[in-house]
Structure formats: structure tokens, C-alpha cells
């Protein structure tokens, strides 16, 4: 059989599959799988047949084999599926036979008919067997469908009845779900086989029997519950009516009848019927409450919106959030109560809005000329009537009043705004004209912007009054502004230093006179013209005053420069640059306020860049000369008077350029003074001579290098003094140099004297055997020794004088005299050693351990013997002193 034939057979098989699924829906998945398998093999067969048709001669043989193989495979699968489906139908028939007695009770005729249909014999499952099976299936399925429909409806009815009964019972008693598990577990009977439906029905009947056994208990509790629920519903109805819900008259009547019947009913059927009626009443009340809740919000909001009243939270209270879906009577009644309360709040808020609007309209009647009201009496009557009716008005009446009052309010606001624009135009014209004249002062009032005038009538009237006042007082305001500006210019001019203020005094006088003239004016045009004239005149005079200032400063600079040049002072470069900067300052001011700034700039250049620089230079030169003269004074030049004059310059420095130039002139006179020159020259000559005289001293000491340097400096002095400079600086430098040389030579002489002293001390110790005793005698008897033996006091005085000497001549004289005395003292000490030789003879018999009286007697005798032996006073005196010192030394040693 070709593919077309197989196509027809497969379509029939699909029909057979549909019949099987209609008999037993549970077989759908399995039968679908078998049919899909057949169609898959058929698709392969069709593919190979198509390839065979288009293939070449060489490939046809191979493809033909594939076609034959696929056809054979399809035939085997078809026969196998036929056998399988025969088994499925046979099982379904057996199930029907098994439940035939139960089906007989429901559909006896149809049960007899289906039992009469015999199952065909199906062998290998070929096409003939398939045709017989298909014929059986159609006949079996037709009768089966009739029986299945009735059985299904009956089972579904029983299931629904049980569920309703269970639901009713559970509202009043506790039901063990295990006793009615079939009813609880099933919700639908579709897609069940006939056998399953019969089994389910048997179990549902058992559940029904259990539920019927609990009927009396439920009846008792249901009766009590009905009475209670009916009373609760009646209370809800009363509450709803009190809140304003309009209920039909028959609704309350039906509720009373239901309460009466609930107390008399005995059977569960009656009770369930009454419960259903109560439930219906609850639904009706809930629906009425639900509709009313929705309508309250919609109706109130719509009325307000239609009236053009904003529904924002600032105006109308936000409605409460309520739920109308899935709520019981109690919840809906609570929501309805909240909505009723909200409606009351809306009335209060709306009444306040309308009252505020009426108040604005009433205020507008106070100024009818500004608001454009012609019938003031009529408007006020409308306001009075409206306020009176607002006490008990509904929302719709409030909206009507609001609409009318709002229209009136807008008309009045428009009239006020037009007046404001008119005054604003006049004010801006005044301000613009004033701005063209004024540079500094501003009008003391600022006009509001029109786009800012968005308030109520009260705000607009206030703005209009302010603007009217501003315009009406514009002349006075402008006059004050002009005077403020003139005062500001005068005050700025008065900040110029008094030394130059007189230059600008004519301008200040003119400004004061102009201010006084403006003060007497009342016309805006006159004030504006006068102010413009004052400023133009002042600008012209300002140029002349600034040029005058520059000329005066220039005169000061030129006079000072002449004095400075006369004093030999070089003007610094930065001062010359500052003079050029002063000459280049422009005197043309853009406006009158630029005049003081230009003047201050000129004065600042003059004082800080010219005058102060010259004063600083003067101070530097005064300090330098003062330092030099102080050094000259320290070396003996009598310049106290000149230093006092310099101190005066330091204590009272110049403040002006001219004063600085005078100080420079004085400084020049001082440095070129012949008297000062003479003083310094005399000190130079003195130092020169002293240094020349002292050179021989250093030559004698063998200080050749030092002497050479001194001679070089001395030889330079005449050349420097020959320079005929008018200033004392050269001579002062020479003087200070020589003074330094003098000081250095003085130090050298003192050092030489010290070295010489050390040398003589050493020589004394070397050449005089008894120098220690001699020194003790000299120390103990200095005056007597100096008078009788040798003048050691004179030698000490010369040493002290030399050490403290500040003059070179004095130091040299002391040095020579001291050297001479030291040589003589050396000779004297050597000669005194011979005197000591006889001292041992006079000390014979002296005991250091003897008593003091014995020692004193011995010394007195020895002294007497010495004086008897030596007639020279110097020898006898020294030996007397020496024996006492020797004896004392022995005693001290003994101790």
C-alpha cells in the first residue's frame, strides 16, 4: 500500500484514538504517543517515496529498499497499535460490565444496549481487524456517551450538594474532615472514567449519610445563629439609617419577618432557607453601603470640581482610604461612617473657603473706585445673604455661592491689577528718568513686578496703596536722592587732605548752594534739570581743580629739586619716574565721583612715591654723618654743636618735600662748614705729629714691619689732605684713620711696657740674691722706702698711668720715664745685695724660739747697732727694716 493509502488509514486510527479518549480521558497521553509514533514512521516513508521519484537510475534501487523497509515497519507498527487499542477497549468494556448493576439503576435502557454490544475478534491487527475494532468503538462510544453524561451530572450534583451542606454545617459545628474526605478532596468530576465516577458516587453517598446524621445538631445551632445574625443586621440597618443611608421600606419589613420566622423554624431546610434570605439581605445592605460610599466621594468631588474650586489638600480634606471590595456589612458600615464624617469636613472646609472669598469681596466694597464696583449696596447685600445661608447650606448651594463670589472677586482683582499697571508705568517712568541723572544714590522705593501680583484682593490693594504712595511721593524721593548724591560727593571731597582742600572749596560751595536750591523745588522736571546742570558744571570745574592741584604739586617738586641740586643731592631714579607718573595722570573724570579719586591718586604719588623717598634718603644721610661725627667726637674732635643739630633733624623729621630739601641744605652747610673743617684738621695734625714722633719708639723696639706700615700710612696723609674737597668727609676719614692708628699704637706701647716689666722682673730675680726680702720690705714700708731708699711708688704710678692712658704723647712719655726708673731700680737692687752681707752679723744670737719680749729687745738692740754703724740713712733704714722682716720670717717658719 502506498503512502496515500496509509494516510487514510492513519486518519482513521486518529479517529479511533479520539473515541478511546472520549470513553476514558486518562488514556489521552498514552494513545497520543502511539499515534505520533505511527505518523513518524509514515513521515519517513513519504520522504523516501519522494526521493525515489526524483532520484537517478543508479540510486533508485537503494532508495526502493528503504521505501519497502519503511512500509514494512509502518505495517508492523499499525498492527501492533491496533492490538493495543483493542486491549484498551476490551478493558473499558469489562469495566462497564463490572459496574452494570449500578448503571442499571441510573440508565437501564442504555445499560442494556451497551451490554448487548459484543467485542469483535481481533487477531494480528491487520486492516480488517482494525475496521471491526473501529466499528465496535463507534457503537460503544455512542451509548457510553449517553450513560456517561447522566452519571456525571448525578455525581456532580451529589458532590455540590455535599459541599454546600458541609459549608453550612461548618459555620455552626466542627466537622471531622476525615469523615467527608471525598467531598473535601474533589472539586470536579470531568475527565473521569465511568468506573471512577461510579466509585466516587458511592463515597459521596457515604459522606452524605454522615452529614445527614449531624443535621439535628446543625439545626439547633443554626436557629440560634439566625436569630443573633438577624438582630445584628437590624442594628446595622438602624445605624446606616441614622447616618443617612436611605433604605427601601420593604427591606426593613422583610428583615423583621425573617427575625420572626427564625424563632419558629424547626427543620434544617427551613433554617437554611432563612439563612439564605439573611445572606441575601446582608448582600443587599452591603451593596447599598458600597454604592453609597463610592457615590459620596464622587458626588461631593464632582460638585466641587464643577464649581471650579480646587480640590487640593490645602482646600478640601483628603478623603479617607476605604476598601469596598471583600468587606462585610460591619466593615462597609465603618467605611460609610468615615465617608460621612469626611463629607462633614468637606462642608466645613468649603464653608471656610467661601467665607474667605466673601470676605475678600467685602473688602473690595471698601474701595469701589479701585475695584470698579458700581452697586456697592447690592454687593454687600449678596455677601450678607450668602453668609447667612452658609450656616445650613449643602455642598451644591455652597458651590453656587462660590461660583458667583469667585466671578466677582476675579473682576475686582482685574480692576485693581489694571490700576497697579497704570501706577507702575508712571513709577517706572519716574525711576528711569532719575537713573539717567543719578550716579550714586538710588530711589528709596522699589516698584513690585506685575507678575508678582498674584495674591488676593487684600494683597493687591496693599500693593496698589504702596505703589500709589511711591508715585505720589516720587518727587520728594527723587529730591532726597539728589541731595544724598550731592552730600556723598561733598563728603568724598572733604576726605582730601587739608593742605589741598582749598583747591576744591569752590566746588564744595557750589554743591552746597545747588543742594539748597533743589531743596526748595517741588517739580520733578526742575529738580532733574538742576541736578544735571550741577553735575555738568562740576565736571568742568573739576578738570580745572585737578590741573590746579597738579600745578601746585609740580611747583613744590621744582622748588625742592632746585634746593636738592644746590645741596648736591642726586634725585633718585624712582622719584624721577614718580614725577613722570604724576604728570601723566588724566584729569578727565567719567562722572563726578571720579574727581576725589583722581585727586587722591595725585596726592598719593606726590607723598608716597616722591616726598617719602626723598625723606628716606635724607634720614639715611643724616644717620651716616651722625655716626661719623660721633666717632670724631670720641677721638677728641669738638663737634657737640653739630651733633646736637643732627639730633634735632632726627627728632623732628620733615613732613614735606620742601622741608626735606631745607634739611638737605642744612646738611650741606654742615659738611662744608670751615669751622668743622678746622676742628677736624687740627685733630688730624695732632695725630699726625704724634704718630711721627712715636715711630722712633717702635724702631728702637725692633718692630720693623709695624714701623714700615706706619710710615706708609703717614706718607699718604699729606696727599689726602691736599684734596680741596668742600665736604668734611675726606678730612673726617683721614682723621678717623689716624685716630685708629693712634689707638693701635697706644695698645702696642702698653703691650711693650708689659713685656718690659716682665723682662725686668726676671732680671731682678737673676741678679739680686735678696730680691724677695727687698720686695717684702718695699711692700711693708712703701712710702718710707720710696722716700729714703728708692722711689718705687713713682714707678707704680707710671705703670698705672700708662695702663689707663688714652693719649699717645702721654703714653710715650710714661713709657720712657718708666724704662729709666726700671733700669735704676735694677742697679739699686744689685747694690742692696752688698748691704745684706752685714745683716748676718747683726742677726747673730737671734732665737726664733725666744719669747716675744726677748725677740723685740734683741731687734731693738740690733737696730740701734745698725744706726751706730752706718751713717747713711738709706742703708741704716733698709737694714733696720730688713732685720725685722728676716726675724719675722724665721718666727713664721718656726711656727
* pLDDT tens-place string over residues 709-721: 665 666 555 545 5
Any idea which of 8-12, 92-96, 205-209 has the lowest mean pLDDT? 205-209
In terms of Cα–Cα distance, which of 677, 568, 582, 551 is closest to 617? 568
pLDDT at 787: 92
Average pLDDT over residues 57-84: 82
Range of the domain at 108: 3-153
| d(C-alpha 813, C-alpha 820), whole Å | 11
| d(C-alpha 360, C-alpha 409), whole Å | 7
Average pLDDT over residues 721-728: 52
Does a structural domain hold residue 797?
yes
Any idea which of 297-306, 388-397, 597-606 has the lowest mean pLDDT? 297-306
Does a structural domain hold residue 37?
yes
| d(C-alpha 470, C-alpha 464), whole Å | 10
481 to 266, 424, 536, 684, 739: CA distances (angstroms): 105, 20, 17, 78, 77
For residue 265, name the pLDDT band (cuts at 50, 70, 90).
low
| d(C-alpha 320, C-alpha 297), whole Å | 10
| DSSP structural state of residue 440 | S
Chain centre to alpha carbon of residue 165: 75
In terms of Cα–Cα distance, which of 610, 626, 594 is closest to 658? 610
Q: Which grid coordinates are listed for 30?
A: 498514552
Average pLDDT over residues 35-56: 81
Does a structural domain hold residue 801?
yes
Taking residue 604's Cβ as centre, other Cβ atoms within 10 Å add up to 11
47-56, 71-80, 463-472, range with greatest mean pLDDT: 71-80
Any idea which of 323-337, 710-724, 802-816 has the lowest mean pLDDT? 710-724
Number of domains in the chain: 2
Q: What percent of the chain has pLDDT over 90?
A: 1
For residue 431, name the pLDDT band (cuts at 50, 70, 90).
low
Q: Which grid coordinates are listed for 186?
A: 474533589
pLDDT at 256: 66
Average pLDDT over residues 878-884: 88
Q: Which grid coordinates are listed for 363?
A: 473688602
Taking residue 454's Cβ as centre, other Cβ atoms within 10 Å add up to 10
In order, the DSSP letters of 21-65 are: HHH-GGGHHHHHHHHHHHHHHHHHHHHHHHHHHHS-HHHHHHHHH
Does a structural domain hold residue 112?
yes
Contact 255, 281 (CB under 8 A): yes
In terms of Cα–Cα distance, which of 54, 48, 46, 125 is closest to 85? 125
800 to 220, 227, 328: CA distances (angstroms): 153, 149, 136
Mean pLDDT, rounded, of the chain:
75
Higher pLDDT, 460 or 697: 460
Q: Which grid coordinates are listed for 639?
A: 663737634
Q: Which grid coordinates are listed for 768?
A: 739680686
For residue 53, name the pLDDT band (cuts at 50, 70, 90).
confident
For residue 438, name the pLDDT band (cuts at 50, 70, 90).
low
Q: pLDDT of 751-771, one tens digit each?
A: 888 888 888 888 888 888 888
Where does a domain end: 123, 153, 183? Answer: 153
CA angle 245, 246, 247 (to 5 degrees): 110
In terms of Cα–Cα distance, which of 795, 709, 721, 719 is closest to 745? 709
CA angle 436, 440, 444 (to 5 degrees): 85
Does a structural domain hold residue 457?
no
In terms of Cα–Cα distance, which of 811, 797, 820 is closest to 693? 811
Residues present in the chain in total: 895
Q: Which grid coordinates are listed for 516?
A: 539748597
Evaluate if residue 518 carries a pLDDT over 80: yes
Where does a domain end: 100, 118, 153? Answer: 153
Where does a domain end: 90, 122, 153? Answer: 153
pLDDT at 709: 63
Any idea which of 250-264, 354-368, 557-571, 709-723 has the lowest mean pLDDT? 709-723
Cell 724677695, residue located: 772
Residues 6+ apart with CB under 8 A from 822: 756, 757, 760, 795
Q: What percent of the chain has pLDDT over 70?
A: 71
For residue 573, name the pLDDT band (cuts at 50, 70, 90).
confident
| DSSP structural state of residue 596 | H
| d(C-alpha 571, C-alpha 565), whole Å | 8
Using the CB atoms, write b or e for 754-772: b if 16+ within 10 Å.
eeeeeebeeebeeebebbe
The helices-and-strands tally (H runs, E runs) of the chain is 34, 0
Contact 282, 329 (CB under 8 A): yes
pLDDT at 444: 46
Cell 471650579, residue located: 308
In terms of Cα–Cα distance, which of 451, 453, 474, 473 is closest to 464? 453
Average pLDDT over residues 776-798: 90
Does a structural domain hold residue 394?
no
Q: pLDDT of 160-190, one tens digit each?
A: 877 777 777 666 667 777 777 787 778 777 7
Three-class secondary structure of residue 571 per DSSP: coil
End-to-end, the C-alpha distance of the chain in Å comes to 174
Does a structural domain hold residue 778?
yes
Evaluate if residue 221 carries a pLDDT over 60: no
Any idea which of 232-236, 412-416, 648-652 has the lowest mean pLDDT? 232-236
pLDDT at 595: 74
Q: Which grid coordinates are listed for 15?
A: 479517529
pLDDT at 784: 92
Does a structural domain hold residue 755?
yes
Amino acid at each position: 500500500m502506498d503512502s496515500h493509502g496509509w494516510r487514510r488509514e492513519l486518519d482513521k486510527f486518529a479517529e479511533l484514538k479520539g473515541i478511546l479518549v472520549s470513553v476514558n480521558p486518562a488514556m489521552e497521553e498514552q494513545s497520543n504517543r502511539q499515534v505520533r509514533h505511527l505518523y513518524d514512521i509514515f513521515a519517513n516513508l513519504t520522504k523516501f517515496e519522494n526521493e525515489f521519484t526524483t532520484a537517478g537510475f543508479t540510486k533508485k534501487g537503494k532508495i526502493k529498499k528503504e521505501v519497502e523497509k519503511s512500509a514494512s515497519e509502518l505495517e508492523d507498527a499499525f498492527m501492533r497499535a491496533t492490538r493495543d487499542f483493542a486491549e484498551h477497549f476490551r478493558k473499558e468494556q469489562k469495566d462497564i460490565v463490572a459496574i452494570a448493576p449500578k448503571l442499571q439503576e441510573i440508565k437501564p435502557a442504555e445499560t442494556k444496549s451497551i451490554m448487548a454490544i459484543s467485542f469483535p475478534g481481533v487477531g494480528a491487527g491487520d486492516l480488517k481487524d482494525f475496521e471491526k475494532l473501529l466499528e465496535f468503538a463507534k457503537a460503544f462510544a455512542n451509548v457510553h456517551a449517553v450513560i456517561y453524561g447522566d452519571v456525571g451530572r448525578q455525581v456532580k450534583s451529589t458532590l455540590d450538594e455535599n459541599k454546600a451542606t458541609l459549608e453550612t454545617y461548618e459555620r455552626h459545628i466542627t466537622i471531622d474532615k476525615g469523615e467527608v474526605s471525598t467531598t473535601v478532596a474533589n472539586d470536579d468530576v470531568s475527565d473521569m472514567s465511568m468506573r471512577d465516577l461510579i466509585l466516587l458516587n458511592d463515597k459521596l453517598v457515604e459522606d452524605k449519610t454522615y452529614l445527614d446524621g449531624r443535621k439535628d445538631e446543625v439545626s439547633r445551632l443554626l436557629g440560634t445563629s439566625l436569630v443573633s445574625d438577624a438582630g445584628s443586621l437590624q442594628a446595622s440597618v438602624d445605624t446606616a439609617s441614622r447616618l443617612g443611608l436611605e433604605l427601601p421600606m420593604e427591606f426593613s419589613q422583610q428583615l423583621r419577618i425573617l427575625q420572626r420566622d427564625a424563632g419558629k423554624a424547626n427543620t434544617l431546610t427551613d433554617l437554611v432557607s432563612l439563612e439564605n434570605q439573611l445572606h441575601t439581605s446582608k448582600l443587599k445592605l452591603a451593596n447599598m453601603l458600597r454604592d453609597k460610599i463610592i457615590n459620596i466621594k464622587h458626588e461631593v468631588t464632582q460638585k466641587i470640581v464643577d464649581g471650579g474650586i480646587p480640590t487640593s489638600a490645602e482646600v478640601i480634606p483628603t478623603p479617607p482610604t476605604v476598601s469596598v471590595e471583600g468587606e462585610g456589612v460591619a466593615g462597609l458600615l465603618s467605611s460609610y461612617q468615615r465617608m460621612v464624617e469626611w463629607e462633614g469636613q468637606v462642608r466645613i472646609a468649603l464653608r471656610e473657603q467661601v467665607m474667605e472669598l466673601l470676605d475678600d469681596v467685602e473688602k473690595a466694597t471698601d474701595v469701589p473706585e479701585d475695584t470698579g464696583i458700581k452697586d456697592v449696596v447690592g454687593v454687600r447685600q449678596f455677601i450678607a445673604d450668602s453668609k447667612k445661608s452658609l450656616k445650613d447650606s449643602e455642598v451644591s448651594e455652597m458651590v453656587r455661592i462660590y461660583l458667583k463670589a469667585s466671578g466677582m472677586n476675579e473682576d475686582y482683582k482685574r480692576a485693581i491689577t489694571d490700576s497697579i499697571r497704570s501706577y507702575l508705568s508712571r513709577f517706572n517712568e519716574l525711576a528711569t528718568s532719575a537713573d539717567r541723572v543719578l550716579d550714586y544714590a538710588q530711589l528709596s522705593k522699589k516698584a513690585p513686578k506685575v507678575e508678582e501680583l498674584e495674591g488676593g484682593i487684600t494683597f493687591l490693594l496693599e500693593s496698589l496703596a504702596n505703589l500709589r504712595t511711591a508715585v505720589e511721593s516720587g518727587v520728594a524721593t527723587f529730591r532726597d536722592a539728589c541731595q544724598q548724591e550731592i552730600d556723598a560727593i561733598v563728603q568724598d571731597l572733604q576726605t582730601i587732605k587739608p593742605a589741598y582742600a582749598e583747591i576744591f572749596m569752590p566746588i564744595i560751595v557750589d554743591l552746597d548752594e545747588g543742594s539748597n536750591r533743589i531743596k526748595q523745588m517741588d517739580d520733578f522736571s526742575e529738580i532733574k534739570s538742576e541736578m544735571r546742570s550741577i553735575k555738568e558744571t562740576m565736571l568742568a570745574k573739576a578738570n580745572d581743580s585737578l590741573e590746579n592741584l597738579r600745578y601746585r604739586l609740580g611747583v613744590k617738586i621744582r622748588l625742592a629739586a632746585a634746593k636738592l641740586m644746590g645741596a648736591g643731592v642726586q634725585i633718585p631714579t624712582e622719584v624721577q619716574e614718580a614725577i613722570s607718573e604724576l604728570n601723566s595722570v588724566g584729569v578727565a573724570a567719567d562722572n563726578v565721583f571720579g574727581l576725589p579719586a583722581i585727586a587722591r591718586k595725585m596726592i598719593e604719588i606726590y607723598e608716597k612715591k616722591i616726598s617719602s623717598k626723598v625723606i628716606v634718603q635724607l634720614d639715611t644721610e643724616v644717620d651716616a654723618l651722625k655716626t661719623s661725627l660721633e666717632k670724631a667726637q670720641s677721638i677728641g674732635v669738638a663737634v657737640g654743636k653739630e651733633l646736637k643739630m643732627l639730633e634735632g633733624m632726627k627728632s623732628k623729621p620733615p613732613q614735606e618735600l620742601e622741608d626735606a630739601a631745607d634739611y638737605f641744605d642744612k646738611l650741606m652747610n654742615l659738611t662744608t662748614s670751615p669751622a668743622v673743617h678746622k676742628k677736624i684738621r687740627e685733630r688730624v695734625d695732632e695725630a699726625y705729629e704724634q704718630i711721627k714722633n712715636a715711630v722712633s719708639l717702635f724702631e728702637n723696639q725692633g718692630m720693623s714691619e709695624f714701623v714700615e706700615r706706619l710710615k706708609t700710612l703717614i706718607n699718604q696723609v699729606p696727599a689726602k689732605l691736599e684734596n680741596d674737597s668742600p665736604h668734611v668727609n675726606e678730612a673726617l676719614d683721614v682723621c678717623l684713620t689716624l685716630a685708629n692708628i693712634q689707638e693701635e699704637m697706644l695698645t702696642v706701647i702698653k703691650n711693650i711696657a708689659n713685656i718690659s716689666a716682665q723682662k725686668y722682673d726676671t732680671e731682678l730675680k737673676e741678679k739680686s740674691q735678696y730680691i724677695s726680702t727687698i720686695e717684702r720690705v718695699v711692700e711693708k714700708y712703701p712710702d718710707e722706702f720710696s722716700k729714703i731708699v728708692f722711689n718705687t711708688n713713682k714707678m707704680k704710678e707710671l705703670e698705672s698711668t700708662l695702663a689707663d692712658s688714652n693719649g699717645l704723647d702721654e703714653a710715650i712719655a710714661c713709657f720712657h720715664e718708666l724704662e729709666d726708673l726700671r733700669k735704676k731700680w735694677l742697679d739699686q737692687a744689685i747694690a742692696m745685695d752688698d748691704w745684706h752681707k752685714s745683716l748676718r752679723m747683726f742677726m747673730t744670737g737671734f732665737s726664733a724660739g725666744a719669747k716675744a719680749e726677748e725677740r723685740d729687745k734683741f731687734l731693738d738692740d740690733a737696730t740701734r747697732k745698725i744706726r751706730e754703724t752706718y751713717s747713711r740713712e738709706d742703708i741704716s733704714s733698709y737694714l733696720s727694716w730688713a732685720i725685722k722682716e728676716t726675724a719675722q720670717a724665721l718666727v713664721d717658719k718656726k711656727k
